[in-house]
Structure formats: C-alpha cells, structure tokens
C-alpha cells in the first residue's frame, strides 16, 4: 500500500510551509512536504556558520510588509527584532547614502541642501517620460541619466546580464527615490527580522500536528510511492511541465563567505557595488540581526547564469520571459488537482510577505471548495 496523505506539497519555503500549516491546523488535513534540499525554509533559510554568526544562507532576507494580516499570521510563530534596513552604495571611491535621498543629494553637492532644492534640481535632471516602460525609463524619468548611470545601470547589467531597457520597470522601480531624509532601503510599514531567525520560525510552523516533512526528496521520486488527493507545487513551473516549451530564464547567484577576526567589516549591513568588482553587494547581516560577537562573516554576491547545476534564485521580469511563462501558466490552469503557488511556480519576483499572502489566499480558496 502506498503512503496516503490528503496533500502532497512540493517545496518547503514559505509557500509550502504556510499552506501545510493552514491545511493541517485549520482543516485537519494530513500533509507531506517533500523538499529536495537538505533543510527547511527554502531560500529564506538561515543558519549559524562555524564562527557562530547567524547567516541568511541565500542572500539577505529583509522581512517587510504593509499587510497587518500577514504580520499577524507570522507572529504566531515568531517574535520580531525591529530593524531599519539601511544600506550604502560604493561608487567613485566613496560611500553614498542609498537609496537616493536628500543626504545623497547633499553628498553630490558637497554642502547642505533642502527638499525644495532637490525637487527643483531633479525636475531639471529628469527625462520626461509619462509611462516608464522599462527599468531604464523608470529611473531616468525620476532622477535623470547621470544618477542612473552612477547607481543603477551597471548594477542591473551585472545582476541580470541584461540591459535595464530589457527589464520591466518594476525591477529598478522597486528602489525608492526620496527627496527627504528617509534613508531606509525599504518603504513598507513593518520592517523586522524573526527574533530567533527564519529557520526557527519554520520549525514552529511545521511542528503543527498532521505535517510530515521529508528532506533530500525530489517530487519526481516521491510521487511514485505516495498517494495523495491534491498536489501543491512550489517549484519551477517549467520543470513541472518537463520544459516542453523550453526553459524559462532565471538568474542565479554564487555566494562567497568570509569570516574575519573583527567585530564589523563595513559601516552598514549591505554595501552595493554598482561600478566596481564582479560582485553586486557585500552583506554583513550581523548589523541587522544585532548579534553580538567579536568576529564577523561577510558575504559577496556574484550573479551567474542559471544552469541545471545552479539554483534559480530570480525569475526574470521581462516581456519575453512573461510571454513564455504565460504558455506554461495556461497548462497550469488546465491541470486538475494541482495548486501552483510561490515565486518559482508563478514566476514572480515576489518578496516573502507577498508569497505568504499568496499562500494564505490559496488556502482560503481550497477551504472554500472543501478540497
């Protein structure tokens, strides 16, 4: 007899874990999560390295949200460590306040200034474009070409191996541009890290009775001997359909960690390098976690192509990629008994809170239809 579950859930990131938790705790469903990696948490996983530094294993994960519902939901599984995420950009041999704000403008001028002066100057620098259609237009229409070239153009080329003109406006449009002194990287109302880390948060969610988790297990193998009523799939949508229309493009990264015998290496939790080096940023997450240790670990992020051997960290928000995704999405809509949820299965450049929101919405749908 094959093992029997109500739900087989592929992937143990936020999408899979939230759905398992809701289905088990609210509807008494039995859920088996299969995860091909050797740990829970998906890309939000964190761990302590050999030096005892708590690291975000797959790049910095700054939790933020405008949704009280999502924060309240997650607060069942964690307390929070409030953080004002502040970063710097390194260009022309010096640090710049980033994202662009009044302090950055004063650095450019080399003297004190005001919001009025910055507004008036940007009005002159701006390239008038009514409806920015791509990532170049969205920035030059706000701050003009020189600041675009200083902070955005080369970072974006490095990160995506595409010209900003060939990426949706939403990519660079994620980065706020302000004419006041608000120098936080993000604008959402709620900004905090799980107090004991993401992995602990996941452990508490997954401790819900009715959930089994099997690590080092690929869906392709598991489905041979598990019987289930419904499938929740949070992996790559093109892989689910055997790449029948060709591979969707993703961007990957290589992380290079270095532990140093000093309390801190750099003046902020993240320094971006738009124009120097092959890496895009150096992250020293200790600034954000508030961990007190005499040593530190920094992580350099090198963008790389996605191949069958590298992780698909980013869907690529661009018209050609969306067009290919739509073909897979049509197959997904026609697929009976399967929910496609999360960043890889819906091919969206989503943050953690957005993925939690998507999973909660899918749960409500499943509950309403009693499946």
Residues of the shown chain interacting with ligand FAD in the complex, contacts defined by CB under 6 A: 10-16, 34-37, 42-44, 58-63, 218-219, 234-235, 253, 313, 342-344, 350-353, 355
344 binds, among ligand UDP, ligand FAD, none (CB under 5 to 8 A by kind): ligand FAD
Beta carbon of residue 73, minimum distance to ligand UDP (angstroms, whole number): 22
From candidates 152, 202, 340, 363, binder to ligand UDP by CB under 6 A: 152
Q: Find out whether 226 and 3 touch, Cβ atoms under 8 Å.
A: yes
339 vs 351 by CB, closer to ligand UDP: 351
Query: With respect to ligand FAD, which residue has the nearer C-beta, 132 or 342?
Result: 342
89 binds, among ligand UDP, ligand FAD, none (CB under 5 to 8 A by kind): ligand UDP
Phi, psi of 94 (to 5 degrees): -150, 165
In terms of CB distance, is 33 or 282 closer to ligand UDP? 282
What is the pairing mode between strands 190-194 and 80-82?
Answer: antiparallel
**Comparing C-alpha atoms, which of 287, 316, 308 is closest to residue 299?**
287
Query: Judged by CB under 6 A, which of 77, 85, 90, 151 binds ligand UDP?
Result: 151
Structure tokens at 178: 């302000």
C-beta of 38: minimal distance to ligand UDP in Å?
24
Q: Give the max Cα distance, the chain.
A: 76
Distance CA 283, CA 258 (A): 11
- Among ligand UDP, ligand FAD, none, the one that 363 touches (CB under a kind-dependent 5 to 8 A) is none
Query: How far is the C-alpha of 89 from the C-alpha of 96, rounded, in Å?
Result: 5
Q: Binding partner of residue 11 among ligand FAD, ligand UDP, none, CB under 5 to 8 Å per kind?
A: ligand FAD
Nearer to ligand UDP, 228 or 342 (CB): 342
* Shortest CB 43 distance to ligand FAD, Å: 4
Closest to ligand FAD by CB, 287 or 343: 343
The one segment of 41-49, 166-174, 292-300, 339-347 that binds ligand UDP by CB under 6 A: 166-174
Preceding omega of 99 cis (within 30 degrees of 0): yes
Q: Which does 91 bind (CB under 5 to 8 A by kind): ligand UDP, ligand FAD, none?
A: none
Under 8 Å CB-to-CB from 122, ≥6 apart: which residues?
Answer: 142, 143, 144, 179
Closer of 179 and 289 to ligand FAD (Cβ): 289
User: Cβ of residue 314: shortest distance to ligand UDP, in angstroms?
Assistant: 7
When asked if residue 156 is in the footprint of ligand UDP (CB under 6 A), the reply is: yes
Q: Is the dihedral of CA 73, 74, 77, 78 positive or negative?
A: negative
> How many residues line the site for ligand UDP (CB under 6 A)?
13
Q: Which member of 23, 34, 143, 171 binds ligand UDP (CB under 6 A)? A: 171
Residue whose CB is less far from ligand FAD, 118 or 186: 186
Q: Closer CB to ligand FAD, residue 20 or residue 318?
A: 20
7 binds, among ligand FAD, ligand UDP, none (CB under 5 to 8 A by kind): none
Task: Please report whether residue 147 would count as binding ligand UDP according to CB under 6 A.
Answer: no
- Residues in the site for ligand UDP, rule: CB under 6 A? 89, 98, 151-152, 155-156, 159, 171-172, 174-175, 272, 274
């Amino acid at each position: 007899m094959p093992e029997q579950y109500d739900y087989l859930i592929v992937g143990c990131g936020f999408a899979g874990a939230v759905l398992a938790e809701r289905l088990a705790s609210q509807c008494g469903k039995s859920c088996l999560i299969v995860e091909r990696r050797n740990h829970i948490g998906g890309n939000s996983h964190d761990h302590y390295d050999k030096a005892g530094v708590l690291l975000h294993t797959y790049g910095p994960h700054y939790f933020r949200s405008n949704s009280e519902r999502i924060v309240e939901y997650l607060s069942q599984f964690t307390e929070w460590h409030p953080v004002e995420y502040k970063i710097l950009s390194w260009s022309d041999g010096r640090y710049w306040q980033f994202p662009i704000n009044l302090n950055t403008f004063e650095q450019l001028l080399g003297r004190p200034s005001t919001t009025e002066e910055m507004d008036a100057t940007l009005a002159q620098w701006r390239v008038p474009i009514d409806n920015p259609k791509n990532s170049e237009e969205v920035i030059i229409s706000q701050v003009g070409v020189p600041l675009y070239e200083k902070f955005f153009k080369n970072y974006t080329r490095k990160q995506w191996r595409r010209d900003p003109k060939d990426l949706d406006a939403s990519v660079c449009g994620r980065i706020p541009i302000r004419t006041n002194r608000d120098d936080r990287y993000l604008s959402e109302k709620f900004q905090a890290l799980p107090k004991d880390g993401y992995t602990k948060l996941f452990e508490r969610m997954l401790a819900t009775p009715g959930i089994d988790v099997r690590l080092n297990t690929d869906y392709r193998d598991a489905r041979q001997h598990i019987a289930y009523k419904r499938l929740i799939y949070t992996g790559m949508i093109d892989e689910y359909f055997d790449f029948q229309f060709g591979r969707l493009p993703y961007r990957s990264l290589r992380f290079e960690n270095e532990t140093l015998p000093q309390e801190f290496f750099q003046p902020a939790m993240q320094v971006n390098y738009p124009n120097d080096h092959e890496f895009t940023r150096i992250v020293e997450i200790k600034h954000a976690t508030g961990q007190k240790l005499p040593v530190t670990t920094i992580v350099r992020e090198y963008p790389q192509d996605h191949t069958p051997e590298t992780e698909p960290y980013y869907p690529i928000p661009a018209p050609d990629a969306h067009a290919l995704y739509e073909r897979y999405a049509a197959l997904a809509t026609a697929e009976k008994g399967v929910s496609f949820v999360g960043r890889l299965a819906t091919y969206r450049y989503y943050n953690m809170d957005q993925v939690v929101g998507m999973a909660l919405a899918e749960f409500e749908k499943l509950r309403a239809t009693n499946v």
